[in-house]
Amino acid sequence: MTGVWQSKTTAQVHPYQKVWQDAQKVNWQVHDLINPTRCLDFTKPFLPESLVRTEDIECLNPSEQLTLNHIRGCSYLHLFVLVEQFIIPMVLEQVKRLGFDDIFATQALLGFAEEEGKHIHLFQEFATAFEAGFGYPCDRMESTAAMAAKILEHHPLSVLLLTLQFEWTTQSHYLESVRNNDEEDLDLCFCDLLRCHWLEEAQHTKLDTLLAYDLAARLGTDVVELAIEDYLKLVHLLHDALMEQVNLDLVNLERAVDRRFTDSERQEILEVQQQAYRWTFLCSGLTHSNFIRVLGEISPSGKAKVIELAKGWS
Ligand SMILES: [Fe+2]
Ligand SMILES: [Fe+2]
């Protein structure tokens, strides 16, 4: 009797309910990851080499490469605060759009927004710990709130696709570069940050996918194609902001290592870092097979444009 009941409920489980139930199983708190007795270790890299590519820069000695790795860690925190800041209003808009008839969708989406709020707190706490330990202020791109507001002016489907792209980006950052990485002795706090972010983002990818299919199905093909064009504008907007951060990272590096780089050294650092930023924050999500699959189902032409764009940046 119990077996029949269990198999029936499993078969009937609602997609939003399933995600919400899975989300309940993940339970970590910010203060478990960073606190006065659990600090950043500045003798170790914060981010894996595949994401920062500081060791590819020949004009930097190992100590300077490590300093740039730390600066990249600071920029990572800042960039993800920006990402979370546009995701929360986007999700709340979707809650309003769906109405409250489907209580499982409401619960799952409000849980999603709450988790992104926790992630902002997480990144901000790490940023505070960074500032305390690094010893130098780091210049960062314009106000994240202003940038998030600019992104939210775009079509809801385009913001949703940008969100989905970043959710898959965080999956790739942990799974491909940190988990099972036995070659690098990374700072444990940053490893935990990436692991815990991955755990909750895994549910977000499912929710974004449900939302994207639902929203696209309610829009006409012409509107979907316009939203795809708008999404590509957002990708370029992010790209410009990232390139600005590359320049700021160089200023921060010169200040931290107390060295004025020659023109050729600057060129080498900028070229390597521009490529590293494009891969880490754009192409790793744009080329992710699950993102491409969803995009292709919504808009085959949009999928082709994204693949072409990523190819140009690789
Ligand atoms: Fe997040
Ligand atoms: Fe997320």
Domain boundaries, the chain: 57-313
Residues surrounding ion ligand 2 at CB below 5 Å: 201, 204
Per-residue b or e along 132-149, where b marks 16 or more CB atoms closer than 10 Å to that residue's CB? eebeeebebbeebeebbe
Calculate what percentage of the chain has a pLDDT beyond 90: 87
CATH of segment(s) 57-313? 1.10.620
Q: What DSSP character marks residue 26?
A: -
Which band of pLDDT confidence, cut at 50, 70 and 90, is reported for residue 4? very low
Averaged pLDDT for residues 250-258: 96
Q: How far is the CA of 60 from the centre of ligand 1 (A)?
A: 33
Chain segment 163-204, per-residue pLDDT in tens: 999 999 999 999 999 999 999 999 999 999 999 999 999 999
pLDDT at position 281 is: 96
Q: How far is the CA of 308 from the centre of ligand 2 (A)?
A: 26
Q: How far is the CA of 200 from the centre of ligand 1 (A)?
A: 7
Q: How far is the CA of 287 from the centre of ligand 1 (A)?
A: 20
Q: How far is the CA of 117 from the centre of ligand 1 (A)?
A: 8
Q: How far is the CA of 13 from the centre of ligand 1 (A)?
A: 26
Q: How far is the CA of 115 from the centre of ligand 1 (A)?
A: 7
Which residues have C-beta within 8 Å of that of residue 91, sequence separation ≥ 6? 109, 112, 113, 116
Q: How far is the CA of 199 from the centre of ligand 2 (A)?
A: 10
Biggest CA-to-CA distance, the chain: 77
Q: How far is the CA of 247 from the centre of ligand 1 (A)?
A: 25
* 6 has a pLDDT exceeding 80: no
**Ligand with an atom nearest the CA of residue 208:** 2
Calculate what percentage of the chain has a pLDDT beyond 70: 96
Averaged pLDDT for residues 118-129: 96
Q: Please give the radius of gyration of the chain, using alpha carbons only, rounded to the nearest integer.
A: 20
User: Alpha-carbon distance 254 to 249, whole Å?
Assistant: 9
Averaged pLDDT for residues 47-75: 97
Q: Are 66 and 52 in contact (CB under 8 A)?
A: no
**Ligand with an atom nearest the CA of residue 23:** 2
Which residues have C-beta within 8 Å of that of residue 108, sequence separation ≥ 6? 16, 17, 19, 20, 23, 203, 207
Q: How far is the CA of 267 from the centre of ligand 2 (A)?
A: 35
* 140 has a pLDDT exceeding 90: no
pLDDT at position 27 is: 84
Q: How far is the CA of 239 from the centre of ligand 1 (A)?
A: 19
User: Alpha-carbon distance 123 to 129, whole Å?
Assistant: 10
